[in-house]
Structure 1
Amino acid sequence: MSEQAGQWHFLTNHARVLGAIARDPAARLRDIAEICCITVRTAQSIVTDLEQAGYIRREREGRRTRYILSPDGALRHPAEAHVPVRELLDVFTTHDCPR
């Protein structure tokens, strides 16, 4: 059993991935995965979720992918549905987060 089993966290992996993308829109999936302490496969799945939900979109730049944020969307939970994603992203991008 992992050390984290049974623990809870304030942020989901989806929030972590969105924050990583907000800090570096040109980040590679493997970099996002490393920053968020998840597998590349999990990062890829989360990026797909975020894209399908309209929080980000992907653009190809040569062989790389650049992510474009859609910060005007609302958070998904009914208790925070009035809060724009921009406010969450401000927390991630205005403070240096340790790796």
Structure 2
Amino acid sequence: MLVEIARDPQVRVRDLADHIGITQRGVQKVLADLYQAGYLTRERVGRRNRYGLNLDEHFRHPTEAGLPIRLLINLFVARDERDSP
């Protein structure tokens, strides 16, 4: 979900659900968890949300706990840029 938000900070919950393959309610729960944990911020822009990522926040899983999420985001966003025509 973090990668999808990095690709499109104004992505809709409906679109996240479609891309990831979970329900909209599931997306809302994950977004709330990420917000509470400090991984993302939300800003209301008109009728939509704009999300920001805290790229310096570290992964929670013990095997990656010392690594910032920036590494994951940069890996996928850089790949997307290379694959674009």
Counterpart among 57, 63, 80 of residue 64 in structure 2: 80
* Aligned structure 1 segments of 4 or more residues deviating by more than 6 angstroms: none
Larger RCO (CA within 8 A; separation ≥ 6): 2
Give, in whole Å, the separation in 2 of the partners of 1:35 and 1:47: 15
Structure 1 residue 47, shift from structure 2 partner:
0.5
Q: TM-score, normalised by structure 1?
A: 0.77
Aligned length: 81
1:26-53 C-alpha deviation (Å, 9 max, x unpaired): 0000011111111111011100110000
* Counterpart AA for 2:41: R
Q: Does 1:65 align with 2:36?
A: no
Question: What are the ranges of 5 or more consecutive residues in structure 1 without an aligned counterpart?
Answer: 1-16
Alignment-derived partner of residue 14 in structure 2:
30
The structure with the largest helix share of the pair is: 2
